[in-house]
């Protein structure tokens, strides 16, 4: 019986690349020094193909393929910068900018510039509207800045902490990250490890001290306002 091949060779942007079987297109491209943009994909999380920014042309097929989850195959021909790939990425970025506050998302801002995306392209679009959540001593949650990449939820779950404090509520445009039954964070299973804050690409999750300083509060004021908050709700009063 023929031995099963453990590597595959494909072409990415005209460059032959040999990688172990089951390597994703994204991993293969990166190993060859080819940059493919991503938002939801992160080294600490399992790829889910959510944001679709990493789409590439595979064998000039009818549909673009998300590079973060599609495995390489022998003989595959991948184009990462074809005209329709660039158009798709630009449109995704413009749609995100039309609905989400990306002002504190440096990586996405860089993509907007790189792909020539017009943040004003959809001026009539509905924007995300969520009240700022300040219910614990460690971090604030501003879901107006959330791009629903799931990174926070994934590190809170099987990808790191196994705490499962975060989940999704709502559907379609109204879907958003929350706690079970929308309870305040101190009443959830959250252990305030900070993993979610660390992987958030948009500053939707931000350390309380950093946020307080931005509001013009002194460290003493922030400390005073946060006293006891890990056990009960007590929002900061910003004058």
Shortest Cβ 155–ligand SF4 spacing (Å): 8
Per DSSP, the residues of 44-109 read TS-----S-TTEEEETT-SS-EETTTPBP-TT-EEESS-HHHHHHHHHHHHHHHHHS--TT-HHHH
Residue 53, CA distances (Å) to 63, 137, 150 in order: 14, 34, 14
Task: Report the residue number, 34 or 199, with the smaller CB distance to ligand SF4.
Answer: 199
Distance of CA 230 to the CA centre of its chain: 26
How far apart CA 102 and CA 106 sit, in angstroms, is: 8
DSSP string for 36-58: ---SS--TTS-----S-TTEEEE
Provide the minimum distance between the beta carbon of 108 and ligand SF4 in the complex, in angstroms, as a whole number: 10
Determine the 3-state secondary structure of 175 from DSSP: coil
Given the complex with ligand SF4, which of 72 and 100 has the nearer CB atom?
Answer: 100
Residues contributing to the site for ligand SF4 (CB under 6 A) = 146-152, 177, 199-202, 204-205
Distances (CA, A) of 172 to 148, 161, 168, 169: 11, 27, 11, 10
> In the complex, what is the shortest distance from the CB of residue 145 to ligand SF4, in angstroms, rounded to a whole number?
7
- Bridge partners (DSSP) listed for residue 166: 179
Q: Quick one: tokens of 121? A: 């392209």
| Nearest distance from C-beta of residue 13 to ligand SF4, angstroms | 29
For residue 148, give both structure tokens.
């629903």
Residue 136 or 202: the one with the smaller Cβ distance to ligand SF4 is 202
Nearer Cβ to ligand SF4, position 150 or 211? Answer: 150
- In angstroms, give the least distance from the CB of 39 to ligand SF4: 8
Q: Which is nearer to ligand SF4, 81 or 175 (CB)?
A: 175
* Nearer residue to ligand SF4 within complex by CB, 76 or 155: 155
Instruction: Find the shortest distance in angstroms from Cβ 208 to ligand SF4.
Output: 15
**10/152 with CB nearer ligand SF4:** 152
Rg (C-alpha) for the chain, rounded Å, is 21
Considering the complex, what minimum distance in angstroms separates the CB of residue 30 from ligand SF4? 21
């Amino acid at each position: 019986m023929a031995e099963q091949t453990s590597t595959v060779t494909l072409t990415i942007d005209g460059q032959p690349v040999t990688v172990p079987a089951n390597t994703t297109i994204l991993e293969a491209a990166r190993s060859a020094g080819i940059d493919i943009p991503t938002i939801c994909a992160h080294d600490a999380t399992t790829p889910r193909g959510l944001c679709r920014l990493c789409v590439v042309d595979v064998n000039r097929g009818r549909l673009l393929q998300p590079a973060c989850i599609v495995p390489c195959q022998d003989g595959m021909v991948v184009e990462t910068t074809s005209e329709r790939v660039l158009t798709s990425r630009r449109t995704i970025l413009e749609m995100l900018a039309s609905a989400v506050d990306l002002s504190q998302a440096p990586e996405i801002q860089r993509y907007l510039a790189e792909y020539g995306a017009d943040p004003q392209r959809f001026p009539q679009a509905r924007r995300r509207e969520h009240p700022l959540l300040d219910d614990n001593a460690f971090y604030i949650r501003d879901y107006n800045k959330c791009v629903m990449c799931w990174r926070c939820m994934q590190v809170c779950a099987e990808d790191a902490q196994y705490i499962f404090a975060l989940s999704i509520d709502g559907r379609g445009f109204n879907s958003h990250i929350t706690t079970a039954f929308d309870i305040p964070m101190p009443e959830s299973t959250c252990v305030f490890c900070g993993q979610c804050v660390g992987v958030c690409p948009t500053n939707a999750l931000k350390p309380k001290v950093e946020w307080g300083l931005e509001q013009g509060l002194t460290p003493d004021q922030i400390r005073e306002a946060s006293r006891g908050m890990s056990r009960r709700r007590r929002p900061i009063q910003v004058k």
